[in-house]
Amino acid sequence: MTRELSYAEAVREALRQEMRSDERVFMLGEDIGVYGGAFGVTDGLLAEFGPERIRDTPISEAAITGCAIGAAVTGLRPVLEIQFSDFITLAMEQLVLQAAKIRYMFGGKARVPMVVRTPGGSGTGAAAQHSESLEAWFAHVPGLKVVAPSTPADAKGLLISSIRDDNPVIFFEHKLLYRTRGPVPEEAAAIPLGLADVKRQGADATIVATSGMVTRALAAADALAQDGVGVEVIDPRTLRPLDTDTILASVRKTGRVVIVYEAVKTLGIGAEIAARIAESEALYSLQAPIVRLGGQECPIPYNRELERAAVPQQEDIVAAVRQVLTA
Amino acid sequence: MALQGLSTDSAVKMLQTMYLIRAFEERADDLFAHGRVHGTMHLSAGQEAVATGVCAALLPGDYLLSTHRGHGHCIARGADVRRMMAEFLGKETGYCRGRGGSMHIADVDEGILGANGIVAGGLPLAAGVGLSIHIRRGTQVCVVFFGDGAANEGAFHESLNLASVWTLPVVYVCENNQYAMSMPVHTSMKIERIADRAAAYGLPGEQVNGMDVLAVYDAATRAVERARRGAGPTLLECLTYRYRGHSKSDAQRYRTREEVEDWRTRDPIVLFQQRLIAERVLSAAAAEPFAGRAREAIDDAVRFAESSPEPDPATLLDGVYA
C-alpha cells in the first residue's frame, strides 16, 4: 500500500521503522530532540524513542561524527544528523580519514555501519554558508557511499538501505524537497544503493539530474513535451556507487545528453558522468556534444534573484535540451 | 601497599612487557636503519611505563584507541608481536594484511580499535565507543591514548566535553612526552599542566609521573574504576619522554643530548626493576635474562615476518567496503 507523504515525512518514517525493528539503530545530532531538527525531520521521534536513542548533542560536529564512528565500529548503527551539509566541513577529518578508511587500513576487519543525514542545496535564502552542495567531495572518497534521493519514495527506500548497509553512507537530503509530496509505500521496503531510476521515458534526449534538479528536469521535460520532444530523465540516486549502465543505455537510445546538478559545475558529479559516457562505446551514439548544467562558479548569494541565477533553473534545462537537439 | 596491590606475577609480567616493548622498538629502529622497512615509524622507547601501567589496569573486553606512536600500547594490551612485526614489514600475515603499517595496527576483535595517524583523530571515536558501551549497558571502558600535541586540537576539547556531559566510560591518557614533533610543550600552551584542562569540562584531571609504571598503574586503576562504575571520564596526563626522534626524518635539532641523557637516568624499566628487587619481589639473578628473552621473542617475530608472504596485488581492492 502506498499513500502520499512529504519527503521529510518519508525520511522520518524510514527512521521510525528502522528504529522499531533494530534496537542497534539510534540517532544523534544537534537539536534533533525537543526541537525536532532544524527542518523538522525528527519531529515526534523523541516522544516515541526517548532521549537515549534520539540524542541531542552539543554543537561539536567533529566529536559527534567521531561518536557515530566509534559506536558503529563497536556494533551499533548510528544515524547522525548534520544540521546543514555545509557544517560537514567541520567533520571532514572524521569522515574522510577515519570512517572511510578504518575498514581498509585495518585489513578489511572493522565495519562502520553509519549514516550521516544532512540537508544540502540552495533556494532558501540561507546564503553562502548554509546552501552548498558538497556531494562530489564525498563521492571522491573510496570507503564512503553517497546517496541523494529526489522523491519521497526514494528518500524512504534509500534511507532504509543506507541504515542497513555496513558502510558509512553520506545521505544528502535537499531542503527544497522536504515539503514535496509523493506516493510512498507503507512498508519498510528498501531500495538498493547503486541503482539509478528512469524517472521519465523519452526517445529524443536524456537528462541526467541529481537531487533537487530532478524535479526541475521533470518540469522541463513536461514543457518540452508540449513541443513534441520526448525527454528521458535519469536520476542516479546514488552517486557512489554510480549506476553507469542505466545512464549509458539511455545515451545509446537518445544520442543527446544534458547533465544537471546544483553543485558548482567544475569538478562536480557531472564531470564524472560525462567522462564515463566519453570513455564508453556510448560515445559513438552521441549526435551532439554533452552539455553540463551546473552551479555557477561562485558561493551561493543571498538575494533571491542572484540565488536563482547561481544554480540551474527549469528554463536553463529547457534551453540546454534544445541546444543538444539542434547541434 | 608496596606495589599498588599488584601480585608478584602481575608486577613481574609488567616488567617483562616493558622489556618486550623496548626490544620491539629497538629492533624496529635497527630494521629501519638497515633499509628493511618501506614506510615510517614512531618509536615509543622511553614511554613504556605509560602503555604498560594503563593496560595493566584494563580487563578483557575493554577497548583501546592508540596513536601513531602505538607499538607499546598494542604490546601492553597483549597483541601478538609476530603479527605486529609482519604488519610493520607490510606482510599479508600482519594485523592489517600489510594495508596499515606501523601507524594503523589494529585488532578489532580484541578491542584494539587502531593506532591512528591523525593527531587527536581517535579522541572523538573514544566518545563514540563510550556511548556504545553506555547504550548497550556494557561494563567495559574505553581508553584512548594521545600526545601533548593532540591537546591543542579541537577534537580533544570536543571529545572531553562530550564524554563529560554524557558521563561516558572513557579514560583519556595524555602521553606528554614533552614535544609535539619538534615543538616543546611550553611553547605550544600557556599552562603548566595539560591535566588542568579537565577542569574546563567538569571531569577530574591528574598529572602522573609517566616514568613510574606503578604510579601510572595506580592512577589508571582509579580512572578505570571510576569509568566502570558509571561515574564518567578522567583525564590522565603522564609525563614521559621519547628517547628516539619523532619519526625517521628527525635530526633532533630541537633538543640537547644532555636532555635525552637526563631523562634516560629515569628509565622506566631500570627504575621498576630496581624497585622490584628492592621490594624483594624479584632477585637480580631472576631478572637478568628478561632483556635477552624479550629480544629473542622479537627475533622470532622478525623471522615470522620476513618469511611471510607479501600481499597479492590482485587483492588491492579488498576491504574498501564491507
% residues pLDDT > 70 (chain B): 99
Q: What is the pLDDT of residues A77-98, one digit of tens each?
A: 999 999 999 999 999 999 999 9
For residue A77, what is the nearest residue in chain B, using CA coordinates? B132
Phi, psi of B140 (to 5 degrees): -80, 170
Rg (CA), chain B: 19
Say if residues A106 and A99 touch (Cβ distance below 8 Å).
no
Q: What is the mean pLDDT of residues B78-90?
A: 98
Residue among A168, A119, A177, A174 nearest A146 (CA): A168
Q: What is the mean pLDDT of residues B14-40?
A: 96
Q: What is the mean pLDDT of residues A138-163?
A: 98
Relative to beta strand A257-264, strand A205-209 is parallel
Residue A61 a catalytic site member: yes
- Residues of chain A found within 8 Å of residue B63, distances taken between Cβ atoms: 74
Q: What is residue B121's predicted lDDT score, i.e. its pLDDT?
A: 96
Q: What is the pLDDT of residues A7-47, one digit of tens each?
A: 999 999 999 999 999 999 999 999 999 999 999 999 999 99
Q: What is residue A136's predicted lDDT score, i.e. its pLDDT?
A: 98
The rounded distance, in Å, linking the Cα atoms of B12 and B31 is 28
- Residues of chain B found within 8 Å of residue A58, distances taken between Cβ atoms: 158, 161-162, 165
Say if residues A241 and A193 touch (Cβ distance below 8 Å).
yes
Q: Residue A20: CB partners within 8 Å, gap ≥ 6?
A: none
Say if residues A88 and A168 touch (Cβ distance below 8 Å).
no
Q: What is residue A327's predicted lDDT score, i.e. its pLDDT?
A: 81
CA distance B78 to chain A (A): 17
The rounded distance, in Å, linking the Cα atoms of B202 and A254 is 65
Say if residues A263 and A298 touch (Cβ distance below 8 Å).
no
Per the structure block, which three cell numbers stand in for B260?
A: 635525552
Give the helix/strand (H/E) hosting B6: none
Q: What is residue B51's predicted lDDT score, i.e. its pLDDT?
A: 98
Chain mean position to CA B116: 11
Per the structure block, which three cell numbers stand in for A202?
A: 523519452
CA distance B140 to chain A (A): 12
Q: What is the ipTM of this complex?
A: 0.94
Per the structure block, which three cell numbers stand in for A188?
A: 519498510
HEC assignment per residue over chain A: CEEEEEHHHHHHHHHHHHHHHCCCEEEEECCCCCCCCCCCCCCCHHHHHHHHHEEECCCCHHHHHHHHHHHHHCCCEEEEECCCHHHHHHHHHHHHHHHCCHHHHCCCCCCCCCEEEEEECCCCCCCCCCCCCCHHHHHCCCCCEEECCCCHHHHHHHHHHHHHCCCCEEEEEEHHHCCCEEEEECCCCCCCCCCCEEEECCCCEEEEECCHHHHHHHHHHHHHHCCCCCEEEEECCEEECCCHHHHHHHHHHHCCEEEEEEEECCCCHHHHHHHHHHHCHHHHHCCCCCEEEEECCCCCCCCHHHHHHHCCCHHHHHHHHHHHHHC
Q: Which residues of A128-144 are buried (b: 16+ CB within 10 A; e: fewer)?
A: eebbbbbbbbbbebebb
Q: Residue B17: CB partners within 8 Å, gap ≥ 6?
A: B48, B52, B55, B75, B76
Per the structure block, which three cell numbers stand in for B255?
A: 633538543
% residues pLDDT > 70 (chain A): 100
For residue A144, what is the nearest residue in chain B, using CA coordinates? B321
For residue B264, pLDDT beyond 90? yes
The rounded distance, in Å, linking the Cα atoms of A10 and A130 is 23
Contact B162/A57, CB-based, under 8 Å? yes
Contact A107/B113, CB-based, under 8 Å? no
For residue B154, what is the nearest residue in chain A, using CA coordinates? A62
The rounded distance, in Å, linking the Cα atoms of A274 and A255 is 13
Q: What is the mean pLDDT of residues B179-196?
A: 96
Q: What is residue B174's predicted lDDT score, i.e. its pLDDT?
A: 98
Per the structure block, which three cell numbers stand in for A287?
A: 549526435
Write out the residues of chain A at the interface with chain B, using a CB-CB cutoff of 8 A.
26, 52-53, 57-58, 60, 62-76, 78, 93-94, 97-98, 102-113, 142-143, 145, 166-167
Q: What is the pLDDT of residues B287-321, one digit of tens each?
A: 999 999 999 999 999 999 999 999 999 999 999 99
Chain mean position to CA B224: 16
Phi, psi of A166 (to 5 degrees): -90, 10
Question: DSSP labels for B112-152?
Answer: B----SSTTTHHHHHHHHHHHHHHTT----EEEEEETGGGG
The Cα-based distances of B292 to B46, B133, B225, B301 in angstroms read 18, 40, 35, 14
The rounded distance, in Å, linking the Cα atoms of A231 and A257 is 10
The single residue of A18, A30, A81, A130 carrying the catalytic annotation is A130
Three-class secondary structure of residue B46 per DSSP: coil
The rounded distance, in Å, linking the Cα atoms of B295 and B21 is 10
Mutate to test the interface with A, among B102, B118, B131 (most CBs of A within 10 A): B131
Q: What is the pLDDT of residues A235-258, one digit of tens each?
A: 999 999 999 999 999 999 999 999
Q: What is residue B3's predicted lDDT score, i.e. its pLDDT?
A: 85
In chain A, the N- to C-terminal Cα span, in Å, equals: 45
Contact B94/A107, CB-based, under 8 Å? yes
For residue A57, pLDDT beyond 80? yes
Q: How many residues does chain A have?
A: 327
Computed over every residue of chain A, the mean pLDDT equals: 98
Q: What is residue A25's predicted lDDT score, i.e. its pLDDT?
A: 98
Q: What is the pLDDT of residues B220-243, one digit of tens each?
A: 999 999 999 999 999 999 999 999
Q: What is residue A59's predicted lDDT score, i.e. its pLDDT?
A: 97
Q: What is residue A133's predicted lDDT score, i.e. its pLDDT?
A: 98
The rounded distance, in Å, linking the Cα atoms of B146 and A13 is 41
Q: What is the pLDDT of residues B91-116, one digit of tens each?
A: 999 999 999 999 999 999 999 999 99
Contact A93/B127, CB-based, under 8 Å? no
The rounded distance, in Å, linking the Cα atoms of B102 and B257 is 27
Three-class secondary structure of residue B321 per DSSP: coil
Chain mean position to CA B306: 25
Q: Among A74, A98, A142, select the one facing B129 at the smallest CB separation.
A: A74
Confidence band of B248 (pLDDT split at 50, 70, 90)? confident
Say if residues A101 and B96 touch (Cβ distance below 8 Å).
no
Give the helix/strand (H/E) hosting B196: none
For residue A273, pLDDT beyond 60? yes
Beta bridge partners of B209: B239
Residue A140 a catalytic site member: no
The Cα-based distances of B106 to A100, B166, B232 in angstroms read 16, 27, 26
For residue B1, pLDDT beyond 80? no
Contact B94/A74, CB-based, under 8 Å? no
Cell 526514494 belongs to residue:
A154
